[in-house]
Structure 1
Amino acid sequence: MLEELELTDLGPIPHATIQPSPGMTAITGETGAGKSMLLSALKLIGGGQADATRVHPGSIRAWAQGVFTVSDTSQAMAVARDAGAEVEDDELYLSRTVPVQGRSRAVLNGRTVPRSVLAQVSEHLITIHGQADQLRIASASRQREFLDRFANNSKQRKAFSDAWQAYCTVNERLERLRTQEADMVQRADYLRESIARIDQADPQAGQLDELKERRTRIENAAQIEEGVSLALAALDGSAEDDAQGAVDLLGHAANALRSMHLGGVFDELATRLESAGAELDDVRFTLAQQMPDHEETANLDELNARIHELGELVQRWGPTLEDVIAWRDQARLDVEDLDASPEKLEALEAEQAKLLKKAQQCAKALNSSRVKAAQELSTHVTEELGSLAMAGAQLDVQVHRREELDATGGDDIEFLFRPFPDSPALQMGKSASGGELSRLMLAMELTAASAKLHDDEAASDAMTFIFDEVDAGVGGKAAVELGRRLAMLAQNAQVIVVTHLPQVASWAGRQFVVTKGDGPGGIETTVRRVEGEERLEEIARMLSGSSTQTSRAHAKELLKDSQLD
């Protein structure tokens, strides 16, 4: 509920403070006096666009603030706390400063916030119905919310929400698994192909080093043959020159020592010479085996091809051939694990189908509640319109069932309005004037309030309804009925109405008058609360343009009669 609205240097108003009634408050005054500035102030603190041209002439900035009392469990309070506001005594302070130059500044409970935050908070506090205002009910989502509030179907909505959330949770898991499965299938295919390629090459541990060594020997066969031949000649001797080799010479030396038959050190040395000769003989044998094989030299191309094949394996799965073999063995185990995933996928698909069926059943029950409520809302609002000087006007609330579900169910909601019998049914906001729309909204709010159909989740928000131009084109008995209807709505919500009709203003619990006159800075507007005789004078002026004995008597009677039973 709006406890206080204060503004400074906004339009022609240098300063004004109003404290609306908890019920119905009337804002009156002559045309052009500046009543619209109060609405401008409410729009500013509601996060609306800032207009520097609205700053009072000679001032450097305009400022507006609204003080609201809210319950601790209200949605407005939740939004405010999410924005970091510190709340005391269940009060929210929404303020806005608009400088002549520069950007506007939005403040929530002393904390600077984006103006979008003010819009989010005020969305749960204020609803302005009037020409050139963006109606909350104009969007499909707001129409669905209003219909659900009227249908009092919170149980059906919760049942569907729970079922839908469960379905979405499993669906997300399934999508992740399917994505993982696609990745796993690719991974398994890659592993199989890799294993097949490695198996085809049939690598053996140490084989690559051995082959490279063989290639080196083949590529250096001539040099090896020459060196080995020279070494063997030195060991065996040269047949051409009848020269003895090292092995024979060692044998002769050993025999010479032993032929002395002196034993001792000479026999030890002879033994050592014989041992060295045996070692040289083994070296000679090994060297003889190292002589190049000319048949192997002819297969060098095949040897290079094999080395290249094994080298590619090492490059992809190495860094050694042993690593390649180990990777293949592990890959065989990984393939077995990856091939086991389809069972889990099938189980989740079965659960998904089960939860979707449940969500569809809950959506059907929700649809039934909406269809029934749509018929009742259309009938009751149309009846209310007849009491608001709009006989023949009709509201048609339509609920269209669709196959696809979303978080709100499976329905598309549409509010269609006919301002007169032969008018085509058009979307709200496109088929009526500002005054007609205000009265239509009044009829809707009255229908919801009279049926006491505010959900628990919505009831925690104390809504303030602002009606501007709701009395356009209305007079006489219809004006009295309009005032009565506004007073009825004010029994369940705070209502502020800007009006020029005394038959409407007389129903208000409080009345503020906006007047224009000369001030220190030129023409200025003042706002003051009128009570007792002052209010009687204002109602009389509204009745006849001036206060006379007759108009005062009429005003007194009007105020007396403007009481709900």
Structure 2
Amino acid sequence: MLEELELRDLGPIREAKLVPARGMTSITGETGAGKSMLLSAIRLISGGAADAGRVSAGAKQAWAQGIFLVNDGDAALTIAEQAGAAADDGEVFVSRTVPASGRSRAVLCGRTVPKSVLASLAAELITIHGQSDQLRLASPARQREFLDRCADNGRQRRTYAKAWNTYREIDDRLRRLSSQESSMRQQADYLRESIARIDRVDPQPGELEELKGQRERIEHAAQINAGVAGALAALDSAQGDGDDYRGADELVRYASQALRNIRLGGVFEQCADRLDSLQAELEDISFTLSQQLDLDESGEDLDTINGRIHELDELTRRWGPTLDDVIAWRDKARFDVEDLDASPEKLGELTAERERCLDAARKAAVVLTKTRERAAKRLSKDVDGELAQLAMAGASLTIDVHARDGADALDANGGDDVEFLFTPFKGSPALAMGKSASGGELSRLMLALELSCAGERASGETDGAESGTGSADDGTGSADGAADDTVPSMTFIFDEVDAGVGGKAAVELGRRLARLARHAQVIVVTHLPQVASWADSQFVVGKSEDGDGVVSTHVREVIGDARTEEIARMLDGSTTPTSLEHARELLAASRLT
């Protein structure tokens, strides 16, 4: 619900504030006074195009702000939160600044946002029915959205959307798998050949490093044997020539014995112990070196080792860089081949699953279509009845819900097409909405649609629940809208709805706007006193001229006698006793019972 609209330097209006009623608000004034600027302000905060040409002469920028009351759980709150803007105590602040030159700036609850965010938010809060706005409902998509709102089929739409999304996901997976099947077969063949080649070589962890070490020792066998023999001869007396040869082991043993023969202990004993330890270390070294003797210096083993190393190097070049990497690649490839070999079975499983999901989506679409068909039948009948009371006798609306056939019958919105066909008078062919009615007729058609839709959604209510929307005898208005704390979730704005209407039809037009205001906030721009008199509050847009001849536009709320005078002016252009009396009678009669 629009709680407050404020604007500055927009066209002829330097500054204005509008606090509309919770129920119905009328905006009146002489032609050319600037009433359209109020609608321009609303369009601005709804994400509409910013026209620098509408900035007041001499002003740097135009500014408009709307404050909306929302209920907990409303979609508008979710949109604001997703944009990073938090509502304050159920109030959403939306503003738009349009400079005389440069880019406009949109602000939501103190946070700068793209204007597209304002458009998304406004779609949940405001519906404008003016001559320039009617064609929005001419598109099949908008007509389907409107019919769904009247059908109140949110549960069925969610059920279908879930089934449709599941089907699309399975279908996409199946398409990807089918398109990749040929390449997957080639990949499987490559993996199998690679695994077989690796298995023929049968590499073992650490084998390549070990073989390279063996090769290096064989290639240097003579040098190793000579060096080891020399070292052993120096260390071990048994390896020397002649009985008089003494190796390091014997000399260390002699030294230790000599120190122990001193028999004084202390440092001599300690040194002897250390020499004994050295003797044990020399014996261990000698044993280790003796194991390295007698290496085969023949080329037979070397050729075998070189051949094996070549095979292993080939594997590491293709699937390495190390032999461990080759083994790991082979083990993983075995699992990949299993998955690829199973693709035909997987393809069959997904095909069957897709058919099950498609069947579920078709059934959900049939249920959804039935809700639309029932709502279309009721809505068409109700709209025809409303049109008869709005000076459009003989006009009718046909809402066609046509279930599609064929393999591609379903889409994201269901399995049917929705079309609104309008017949302006008897004998006229039914034409697509927007091609067969004038701006005023379209405004009244939209009013009839909104009234009928509100009746569908509130079918559980009775006429006795009407809370007296309309004006009291003094013109101050009756109690606003609903009696509970829930604010209307939608604000309807009607412009030019009274074009070509007068007399009794104008009274019925006002009465129906007041009826709609039982369920929603209604703001109507009107020239007819028979319409304005039904409002809970009334604002007058007028012009004034200062001493320097500068003309400006003001917006003021009229209450009590001031409202009676405005209604009288609308009746015959003056405030004579007769017109004032007629105005009071009209205000008194403009009440829902």
Contact 1:395 1:418 (8 Å CA) reproduced = yes
2:389 is aligned with 1:361: no
Measured in 2, the distance between the counterparts of 1:462 and 1:421 equals 37
Q: How does 1:55-66 map to 2 (within 5 A)?
A: 55-66=55-66
Which residue is equivalent to 2:420?
Answer: 415
- SS of the residue corresponding to residue 409 of structure 2 reads strand
Structure 1 counterpart SS, 2:124: coil
Deviation at 1:452, TM superposition (A): 2.9
How far off its partner does 1:197 sit? 7.5
Q: In the aligned structure 2, how far is the partner of 1:172 from the partner of 1:372?
A: 34
* 1:387-423 alpha-carbon deviations (Å, 9 max, x no partner): 1111222212111222432232111211122223344
Q: Which residue of 1 aligns with 2:29?
A: 29
Query: How many aligned positions are there?
Result: 492
Map 1:130-529 → 2, pairs under 5 A = 130-133=130-133, 135-175=135-175, 184-194=184-194, 316-317=318-319, 334-336=336-338, 338-402=340-404, 403-453=408-458, 462-519=489-546, 522-529=550-557
SS of alignment partner, residue 425 of structure 2? coil
Give the aligned residue type for 1:543. Answer: L
Look up the match of 1:244: none
For residues 104-155 of structure 1, what are the alpha-carbon distances to aligned partners after superposition, in whole Å with 9 as ceiling and x for unaligned?
1111111111111111111111111111226543333321121122223333
Residue in 2 aligned with 1:107? 107
Distance verdict in 2 for CA 1:471–1:336, change over 3 Å: closer
CA contact (8 A) 1:74 1:461 kept: no
2:38 aligned partner: 38
Structure 1 residues 439-468: Cα deviation after superposition (integer angstroms, max 9, x where no partner): 11100000011233599xxx9971111100
- Give, in whole Å, the separation in 2 of the partners of 1:349 and 1:365: 25
Residue 87 of structure 1 aligns with an amino acid whose one-letter code is: A
Task: For 2:116, give the aligned amino acid.
Answer: S
Q: 1:120 aligned to 2:120?
A: yes
**CA separation of 1:200 and 1:453: change in aligned 2, threshold 3 A:** same
Q: Which amino acid aligns with 2:380?
A: S
Q: Shift of the alpha carbon at 1:340?
A: 3.3
Residue type of the alignment partner of 2:342: A
C-alpha separation in 1, matches of 2:332 and 2:102: 68
**Within 2, Cα distance between the matches of 1:101 and 1:160?**
48
Of the structure 1 ranges 177-186 and 552-561, higher mean CA displacement relative to structure 2 is found in 177-186
Q: Note the C-alpha offset of 1:501.
A: 0.7
Q: Is the 8 A contact 2:152 2:457 kept in 1?
A: no
Secondary structure at 1:507's aligned position in 2? Answer: coil
Q: Which moved more, 1:405-414 or 1:347-356?
A: 347-356
Q: Does 1:536 align with 2:541?
A: no
Distance 1:323 1:18 in 2: 76
Q: Structure 1 residues 152 and 133 mapped into 2: Cα distance closer, same or farther (>3 Å)?
A: closer
Measure how far apart 1:386 and its partner are: 1.4
TM-score by length of 1: 0.76
Moved more, 427-436 or 473-482: 427-436
**SS of equivalent residue, structure 1 residue 3:** strand
Secondary structure of 2:457's counterpart equals coil
CA distance in 2, matches of 1:349, 1:47: 45
Matched AA of 1:46:
S
TM superposition shift of 1:156:
2.5
Unaligned runs of 5+ residues in structure 1 are 214-262, 266-285, 291-306
Contact 2:488 2:521 survives alignment (8 Å): no
Report the AA paired with residue 370 of structure 2. S
- Residues 107/509 of structure 1: CA separation in 2 closer, same or farther (3 Å cut): same
1:198: how far off? 7.9
Read off the aligned partner of 1:57 and give its amino acid letter. Answer: A
Q: Helix, strand or coil for the counterpart of 1:73?
A: coil
Say if 1:13 and 1:331 are closer, same or farther in 2 by CA, change over 3 A: closer
Q: Which amino acid in 2 is paired with 1:375? A: K
Q: 1:556 to 1:164 in 2, by over 3 A?
A: same
Q: Secondary structure at the match of 1:351?
A: helix
Q: Is the Cα contact below 8 Å between 2:488 and 2:519 reproduced in 1? A: no
Matched residues in 2 for 1:154 and 1:321: separation? Answer: 62
User: 1:150 touches 1:453 (CA, 8 Å); kept in 2?
Assistant: no
**TM-score w.r.t. structure 2 length?**
0.72
CA RMSD of aligned residues (A): 4.1
CA distance in 1, matches of 2:436, 2:188: 63
- Going from structure 1 to structure 2, the CA distance change for 1:494 and 1:334 (only over 3 Å counts) comes to closer
User: Contact 1:128–1:135 (CA<8 Å) still a contact in 2?
Assistant: no
Residue in 1 that maps onto 2:577? 549
Mapped to 1, the partners of 2:86 and 2:508 lie a distance apart of 43
- SS of the residue corresponding to residue 450 of structure 2 reads helix
Per the TM alignment, residue 344 of structure 1 is displaced from its structure 2 partner at its CA by 3.9
Distance 2:317 2:365 in 1: 59
Any idea what SS the aligned residue of 2:535 has?
Answer: coil
Q: Deviations over 1:289-309 (max 9, x none)?
A: 99xxxxxxxxxxxxxxxx999
Structure 1, residues 212-245: CA drift from partner, whole Å, max 9, x if none?
A: x9xxxxxxxxxxxxxxxxxxxxxxxxxxxxxxxx
Is the alpha carbon distance of 1:324 and 1:450 closer, same or farther for their aligned partners in structure 2, counting shifts above 3 Å?
closer
Sort the Cα spacing of 1:193 and 1:497 in 2 relative to 1 into closer, same or farther, 3 A.
Answer: same
Separation of aligned partners in 2, 1:202 and 1:471: 92
Whether contact under 8 Å (2:540, 2:557) holds in the other structure is yes
Q: What are the ranges of 5 or more consecutive residues in structure 2 without an aligned counterpart? A: 216-241, 245-295, 300-308, 461-485
CA distance 1:146–1:461, change in 2 (3 Å): farther
1:162 aligned counterpart, secondary structure: helix
User: Residue 108 and residue 203 in structure 1: after superposition, are their counterparts in 2 closer, same or farther (change >3 A)?
Assistant: closer
By how many angstroms is 1:366 displaced?
Answer: 1.3
- The range that moved more, 84-93 or 335-344, is 335-344
Structure 1 residues 192 and 445, CA, compared in 2 at 3 Å: closer, same or farther?
A: same
1:389 match: secondary structure? coil
Query: Does structure 1 conserve the Cα–Cα contact (< 8 Å) formed by 2:511 and 2:531?
Result: yes
- Residues of 2 paired with 1:382 and 1:333: CA distance? 69
Residue matched to 1:260: none
Residue type matched to 1:428 in 2? M
Alignment-derived partner of residue 239 in structure 1: none
